[in-house]
């Protein structure tokens, strides 16, 4: 369990470095570091064998090849092309999770604080 918590932190840092790398005009060093942290954190969260089993399922091999190929292209200092490949691979790999995530976001507005914030935001945006 503590390893999974460390993995969440490392994955968060990876996402942060990827975002920072994109914001700084596709800085290849930040993107490469973010990719390595993201993959390491994911492995620590779900375990080495489950990570391997997730990425190398027969129906996910296309997405895996684009994602890991994009990571390799970023490491070879072609960040823009690598990030395009990674993005396509990411959406291909995780498309089954998106309905669950969007369903959660839809239910998140039932939480008292968030629903009040949402109502306030809706009220101000309609005036514009």
Q: pLDDT higher for 106 or 80?
A: 80
Check whether 128 has a pLDDT greater than 50: no
Q: Region 75-83: what's the mean pLDDT?
A: 95
User: 44 is in which domain, residue-wise?
Assistant: 2-124
32-40 own/partner pairs: CB under 8 Å, 24+ apart = 32/71, 32/74, 32/75, 35/71, 35/74, 35/75, 35/86, 37/10, 37/11, 37/13, 38/11, 38/14, 39/14, 39/71, 40/7, 40/10, 40/14
pLDDT at 76: 95
Structure tokens at 97: 């999770």
| CA pair distance 42, 54, nearest whole angstrom | 11
pLDDT at 1: 67
Helix then strand then coil, in percent of the chain rounded to 5, is 85, 0, 15
pTM: 0.77
Condensed to tens digits (0 to 9), the pLDDT of residues 20-78 reads: 999 999 999 999 999 999 999 999 999 999 999 999 999 999 999 999 999 999 999 99
Number of domains in the chain: 1
């Amino acid at each position: 369990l503590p390893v999974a918590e460390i993995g969440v932190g490392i994955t968060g840092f990876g996402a942060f470095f990827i975002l920072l790398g994109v914001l700084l005009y596709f800085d290849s060093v930040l993107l490469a570091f973010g990719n390595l942290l993201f993959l390491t954190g994911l492995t620590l969260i779900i375990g080495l064998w489950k990570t391997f089993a997730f990425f190398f399922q027969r129906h996910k091999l296309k997405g895996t090849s684009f994602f890991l190929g994009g990571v390799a292209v970023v490491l070879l200092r072609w960040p823009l092309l690598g990030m395009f490949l990674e993005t396509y691979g990411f959406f291909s790999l995780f498309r089954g999770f998106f309905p669950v995530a969007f369903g959660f976001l839809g239910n998140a507005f039932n939480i008292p604080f968030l629903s009040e914030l949402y109502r306030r935001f809706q009220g101000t945006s309609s005036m514009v």
